[in-house]
Chains A and B, each alone.
Chain A
Amino acid sequence: MRIRISSARIIDPGRTDRVADVVVADGCIEQVGTGPVDGRGPVERVIDGRGLLLVPGLIDIHVHLREPGHEYKETIDSGCRAAAAGGFTAVCAMPNTVPVNDSVQVTRFVREQARGAASARVYPVAAITRGQAGTRLCEFADLKNAGAVGFSDDGRPVTGSQMMRRAMEYALGFDMPIISHCEELELADGGSMNEGPVATRLGLAGIPNAAESVMVMRDLALAELTGARLHIAHVSCAESVEAIRGAKRRGVRVTAETAPHYFTLTDEAVADYDTRAKMNPPLRSAADRRAVRQGLADGTLDAIATDHAPHSTLEKDLEFDQAANGIVGLETALPLSLQLVADGVLSLPDLVARMTVNPARIMGLPCGLAEGGPADLTLIDPALEWVVDSGRFFSLSRNTPFDGWKVRGRAVMTMVAGRIVHEL
């Protein structure tokens, strides 16, 4: 099957930004340009790309697919369908499953399930420490050979500084990134939302910015000490952005991501104890939201990742302080991110970079629209207005604070290895 996507604006950050055609055949990008396809057989389908954006398949380097262990919240299959619907062709699956992905067996299982799912590529992230218990290192070499692309105890910090130092040093031997969930547990203790006037008004125990930034600063110091590749997950507050900015200036090998909810919402979204606005780190103040946007604009924050965290009503329809942390993000990330372009925070090519080539670079993944490369691509209608309806999500979970939001911009077609995995 040979498909031509005609006259779309092709944005392949760092390579091209022009209106042209893309021809896809045999799972690969055969041609980027406007000329005819010479003697390679007929084009069986033409997709009219006028007014649309054609970009490398979006990559979300921070998702929780819940399999194995919590398949009632999400499976690798349902998570991949949600990814495809949101325009993502590849996701990095965090290891805090049950059992934890701290072994070759679980890493292989995740890849096996992903092969069956096929609507997105799944790259497993393995745990830093066994059982994410923070005491003994996982077998990095084995895990890398089995297909792990990075290491993280996501959901929990590595509390011991010596342990974290050793993890960073040891990862250097395999040129693998250490992804840090930055949280100083004693400072965050008992908190269920951002510390500040809203928490005080609602009578909820707060989590101060420092619970995150203290750990960001520790890990930056350790990255500086070891020379390791450090990636900071889900940056939510101004102090973290500032610390990362300074470290980058000093030449520390650090990258960082933030999530759409941190640049879209503030802690006011908790409103009347809405557990759909509960996540960790928590939604912060308007000043923090500005700082996160600024961090994205100046490149301090390299990537947008969703921290897609499916939970069922069992974990969410509870007293606020009892409810689980996390929201689903795969199916809402694109329009929320495009809003940054509308708001003048990022140019369109810069936004595309933060959802494609930048996350790919951080995790060492293939990405781009080069001729001969795999046809992983996303066709976006940036003007399409639609209303978020969690009832229609491909994800098995509905925990989103964006339900009912009128948004603009959507993936109208997602292709993985030349196969259309989502089409509106």
Chain B
Amino acid sequence: MQLKRKDILDMASLTVDEINLILDTAVQMREISTRSIKKVPTLRGKSVVHFFYEPSTRTKTSFDLAAKRLSADSVSLSKSTSSLVKGETLIDTARNLEAMHPDVIVIRHSSAGAPHLIARHVRCSVINAGDGRHEHPTQALLDMLTVRDRKGRLDGLRVAIIGDIAHSRVARSNCIGFTRMGSRVVLAAPPTMMPRGIEQLGVETTCEVDRAIEGADVIMMLRIQKERQQAGLFPTEREYARVYGLNRARLQRARPDVLILHPGPVNRGVELAPEVADGPFSVILDQVSNGVAVRMALLFLVLGGTRNANPD
């Protein structure tokens, strides 16, 4: 089976079959990263541009390693090294990149819809590495892979996502992804951080963390940004930690084999108590490892790879 799309812009446009294909391919890719020589020639001669308009360490490193392990040539552009600071429009920058014939543009941008705008103006593949508060599809895919590894399935699970839903692209992508695969997603947030109408994505909402955790198979905690406090969305980190943070006592309400996920970087002691972050249920580092595998799979698939092609 082949992926019949040029771009990975959001979870909203991916079908169940496509998600399964991507996750299955990622499993094959994962093995490469465990070898002593972590490199296969699969994408030799292909070039990938990592265009990060917004600061990122983890996602950029993950994409870069993914490209290199498949032998693609990769270059990175940041906001400060691109012409955007010189007043060039995003479309012009994209067209200029395109003129250098890359095969894939990976973009992170602070404006929702920026990857969609670029995809309309270039012929090469575009992968969304996070756009504003819209979507972060590769994060959702790596989260789903992490959960599928441990649970053996993605349907019939109860997934709680807790924190600043309003500003979270990770939350949106996971809501869509897990729901599409047949899980039930419940969101918990202070009402100041619960965006209006999110129920239309097919999820439940509550402002009580305990209710969201009740019987959960998966708990995903979101990072709370200090600037939200300045904007008046919550009064203090102390109160946030007490009311909306995850600690060991609270975890009793979840299923005994619950998984704790966090997209990182973790604010220890705020949304996540240290004993939970480092505890037996935490799969946070698995998420990071799976990130490389999922991104390898996506690069491979958008460039026309087939699942059963030998990645060697």
Q: Are A319 and B200 in contact (CB under 8 A)?
A: no
Q: Are A201 and B201 in contact (CB under 8 A)?
A: yes
Q: Out of A197, A202, A319, A321, which one reaches B196, CB within 8 Å?
A: A197
| Given A272-B113, A319-B113, A320-B112, A203 and B200 contact (CB-CB distance below 8 Å) | no
Q: In the complex, what's the smallest C-beta–C-beta distance from A317 to chain B, in angstroms?
A: 6
| Given A195-B196, A203-B132, A206-B196, A318 and B89 contact (CB-CB distance below 8 Å) | yes
Q: Out of B111, B135, B172, B201, which one reaches A319, CB within 8 Å?
A: B111
Q: Are A202 and B197 in contact (CB under 8 A)?
A: no
Q: Are A320 and B196 in contact (CB under 8 A)?
A: no
Instruction: Tell me, yes or no, whether A34 is within 8 Å of chain B by CB.
Output: no
- Docked CA distance A204–B12 (Å): 15
Interface residues of A in 176-229 (CB under 8 A from B): 195-206
- For B, the interface residue count at a CB cutoff of 8 angstroms equals 24
Instruction: Tell me, yes or no, whether A386 is within 8 Å of chain B by CB.
Output: no
Instruction: Tell me, yes or no, whether A72 is within 8 Å of chain B by CB.
Output: no
Instruction: Tell me, yes or no, whether B195 is within 8 Å of chain A by CB.
Output: yes
Chain A residue nearest in CB terms to B165: A200
Q: Are A202 and B111 in contact (CB under 8 A)?
A: no
Q: Out of B109, B117, B132, B197, which one reaches A204, CB within 8 Å?
A: B132
Instruction: Tell me, yes or no, whether A174 is within 8 Å of chain B by CB.
Output: no
Q: Are A200 and B195 in contact (CB under 8 A)?
A: yes
Instruction: Tell me, yes or no, whether B180 is within 8 Å of chain A by CB.
Output: no
Q: Are A318 and B90 in contact (CB under 8 A)?
A: yes
Instruction: Tell me, yes or no, whether A322 is within 8 Å of chain B by CB.
Output: yes
Chain B residues whose CB sits within 8 angstroms of the CB of A322 once the complex forms: 111
Instruction: Tell me, yes or no, whether A405 is within 8 Å of chain B by CB.
Output: no
Q: Are A202 and B200 in contact (CB under 8 A)?
A: no
How would residues 288 to 324 of chain A score, 1 for a CB under 8 Å from any chain B CB and 0 otherwise?
0000000000000000000000000010011111100
- For A, the interface residue count at a CB cutoff of 8 angstroms equals 21
Chain B residues whose CB sits within 8 angstroms of the CB of A199 once the complex forms: 195-197
Chain A residues whose CB sits within 8 angstroms of the CB of B12 once the complex forms: 201
- Docked CA distance A78–B99 (Å): 37
Chain A residues whose CB sits within 8 angstroms of the CB of B112 once the complex forms: 202-204, 273, 319-321
Chain A residues whose CB sits within 8 angstroms of the CB of B200 once the complex forms: 197, 200-201
| Given A203-B132, A319-B109, A322-B111, A273 and B89 contact (CB-CB distance below 8 Å) | no
- Docked CA distance A182–B255 (Å): 51
Chain A residue nearest in CB terms to B91: A317
Chain B residues whose CB sits within 8 angstroms of the CB of A205 once the complex forms: 133
How would residues 53 to 80 of chain A score, 1 for a CB under 8 Å from any chain B CB and 0 otherwise?
0000000000000000000000000000
Interface residues of B in 66-123 (CB under 8 A from A): 89-91, 109, 111-114, 116-117
Instruction: Tell me, yes or no, whether B184 is within 8 Å of chain A by CB.
Output: no
Q: Are A320 and B201 in contact (CB under 8 A)?
A: no
| Given A272-B116, A273-B113, A321 and B132 contact (CB-CB distance below 8 Å) | yes
Show the binding face of B for A, using Cβ within 8 Å: 12, 89-91, 109, 111-114, 116-117, 131-135, 169, 172, 195-198, 200-201
15 more CB-based (< 8 A) A-B contacts, given A200-B196, A317-B89: A197-B197, A198-B197, A199-B195, A199-B197, A201-B12, A201-B200, A201-B201, A203-B131, A203-B172, A314-B89, A318-B89, A318-B91, A319-B111, A319-B112, A322-B111
Q: Which 4 A-B pairs have the closest CB atoms?
A: A203-B134, A197-B197, A273-B113, A319-B111
